[in-house]
Amino acid sequence: MRDRGARGDGRRDDTAAIQAAIDAAAASGGVVLFPRGEYVSGTLRLRDRVALRLEADATLVASPDDADFDPYERLDYEPFADRETADFSFALLQGRGVQRVSITGPGRIDGNRRARGGPKLIALKQCRHVTLRDLTLDNAPNYNVSLLGCDHVDIRGLTIRNGYADGIDPDGCRHVRIAGCRVESRDDAIVLKASRALGAPRSTENVVVTDCDLVNVRNGLKIGTESSGDFRNIVFRKCTMSGRAEPWTPPPRDWKPQPSAGVSIQNADGGRLEQIVVSGITMVGLRAPIFVRLSERGRGQDVPAAGTLARISISDVAAAGATWASSIMGLPGHDVSDISLSDIRIVGKGGGDAAMVTREVPERRREYPDAARTGDLPAHGLYCRHVAGLKVEGVRLTVDEPDARPAVILDNVRKATLRRVEASAPSQPGPVVWLRSARDCLITAIRCRPEAKPVLRITGASTRGVRVAAGEGHAQPVVLLDAEVDATAVARR
């Protein structure tokens, strides 16, 4: 690349020289090598069969002048998404319909900004066979890695530091692997989307995120910020997360970020979300460890209507420092279905008072779904509403400080099984588990301190088909039936 005139002195603009090297390499499917130095550049357009390799001590630096980058796209259709999601022109490394392209380290790419609002570092649209490996991305003012309609993407060993926006965002992408990455973001760390940014919905499917370390102030692993299209066959596994309320200096302007959720799975715009597997997750300091939500914001729909959210398995999760309960919520007439939680251990901060127990939780059916909009819930560990087909097994929900709330509330839930649940009991008389208008449920092997009474409270005139069992090695739980519950609706054995 030096032979094309690139200086790499960190001062003069190397855009033309780097682009010339890329264009020349495209003729033969070659490598553009960045030797030691700092290469200041505006927008660079990637080509088919070109590999960019940044050697150790080589840094590609975004020009401080926004005018050196391609302007935002003027789409001839309504994308029903914000500009950060829909635009793939205002970027440092821009790829459009390219195939077999790679960007590898061990060097760095520096966004060269001190606040949100600027070019994306890597923006790839409708590309195929993409490799991103062993790079460090610093100071991005926009999405660090933004992918739209891309297939066969392999992202490994990326380190993202001091990101002012999302870390890695595959949108309408298929056959994606993200492995061994460390992401530090002031917003979401890794987000899967299915927007209308291509003019019509495109599904996101066959995605694996594994062995990543995520530090963020919003959500760690997230699905569904944009959910016009479908999601299927998604795996999150073996990741660690930590939340920071005030992570870096300077803070974002006019915004005080707070950690939201560790695993956030949501469907707000009418698509189908199904076949999601989450396992082997450890988190500290995320306010809501698990947030699963179906709503009907209806972005891009003529008439907002709920989609489907089904077949989700979450297992082997350990969380500490939670201030909000985990939650699984559908809508009236639109249940979240076939949800499994197993081997979950959550330690909350506790401290909830009696007023929270009777709090009415608004449906918020047309709002953007986020755990921060839900906040404190009537349960300290797990709150479920409008769910069909729920299995909770081998779950431990404890608090560090006394809390007046039940550990678990199932509200308008049917076909649920709670088995081997260990939980902190309320700090004042009240149930450990509360069923409200539940149908066809099995509750067995609930463990809490012996003096907790009642262990189980059942309310709601529509309650029926509830079975309560001691479970092997457990005493028969104390059950309180409110007056409106038909005694034949509950069987004990």
Residue partners of 27: CB distance under 8 A and separation at least 6 = none
DSSP annotation of 71: P
Mean pLDDT of 83-100: 97
- Tell me the two tokens of residue 138: 């610093």
* Cβ contacts of 475 within 8 Å, gap of 6 or more: 450
| Structure-block tokens of residue 74 | 């003027």
Quick one: average pLDDT of 309-315?
98
Which residue in 296, 301, 370 sits closest to 332, CA to CA? 296
The residue behind tokens 């949100």 is 116
354: left (phi over 0), alpha (psi -120 to 50) or beta: alpha
Predicted confidence at residue 4, as pLDDT, reads 73
Beta-bridge partner residues of 390: 339, 416
Query: Does residue 2 register a pLDDT over 90?
Result: no
- C-alpha gyration radius of the chain: 25
* Mean residue pLDDT across the chain: 93
- pLDDT bucket at 217, cuts 50 / 70 / 90: confident
Q: What is the mean pLDDT of residues 198-213?
A: 97
pLDDT at 391 over 50: yes
**Chain position carrying tokens 């309560």:** 468
85 φ/ψ angles, rounded to the nearest 5 degrees: -75, -40
DSSP letter at 21 equals: H
Confidence of residue 254 (pLDDT cuts 50, 70, 90): very low
Candidates 21, 43, 48, 47; CA nearest to 32 is: 21
pLDDT in tens, 131-141: 999 999 999 99
List, for residues 395-448, the tens digit of each pLDDT value.
999 999 999 999 999 999 999 999 999 999 899 889 999 999 999 999 998 988
Dist. CA 100–CA 98, nearest whole Å:
7
Q: What is the pLDDT of residue 165?
A: 94
Secondary element (H or E) of residue 372: helix 371-374
Close Cβ partners of 29 (under 8 Å, ≥ 6 residues apart) = 48, 49, 50, 100
**Which one-letter amino acid corresponds to residue 251?**
P
pLDDT of 255 reads 46
pLDDT band at 477 (very low <50, low <70, confident <90, very high): confident
Q: How far apart are the first and last CA of the chain?
A: 77
CB 385 within 8 A of CB 330: yes
pLDDT score of 250: 52
Residue 452 has pLDDT above 90, yes or no: no
Q: What is the pLDDT of residue 87?
A: 97
C-alpha 133/C-alpha 348 separation (Å) is 37
User: Contact at 8 Å (CB) between 165 and 142?
Assistant: yes
The answer to whether the beta carbons of residues 332 and 363 sit under 8 Å apart is yes
Distance CA 173, CA 170 (A): 6
Q: What is the mean pLDDT of residues 56-80?
A: 96
How many residues make up the chain in this entry? 493
The 8-class DSSP code of residue 24 comes to H
- For residue 290, the one-letter residue type is I
**Counting Cβ atoms within 10 Å, is residue 85 exposed (0-12), middle (13-18) or buried (19+)?**
buried
Longest dimension (CA), the chain: 86
Range of the structural domain that residue 188 is part of:
2-492
Task: Tell whether the model's pLDDT for residue 473 goes beyond 70.
Answer: no
pLDDT band with cut points at 50, 70 and 90 for residue 216: confident
For residue 291, pLDDT over 50 is answered with yes
Kind of pairing between the strands at 51-54 and 108-110: unpaired
We report the CATH number of the domain holding residue 167 as 2.160.20.10
Give the confidence band of 218 by pLDDT, cuts at 50, 70, 90: confident
User: What's the pLDDT tens digit per position in 152-161?
Assistant: 999 999 999 9
Structural domain total, the chain: 1
* 350 phi/psi in degrees, rounded to 5: 75, -160
Point out the least confidently predicted range of 114-118, 245-249, 279-283, 325-329: 245-249
With a CB cutoff of 8 Å and minimum separation 6, the contacts of 200 are none
- Residue in 2, 12, 13 with CA at minimum distance from that of residue 35: 2
| Average pLDDT of the residues in 215-221 | 88
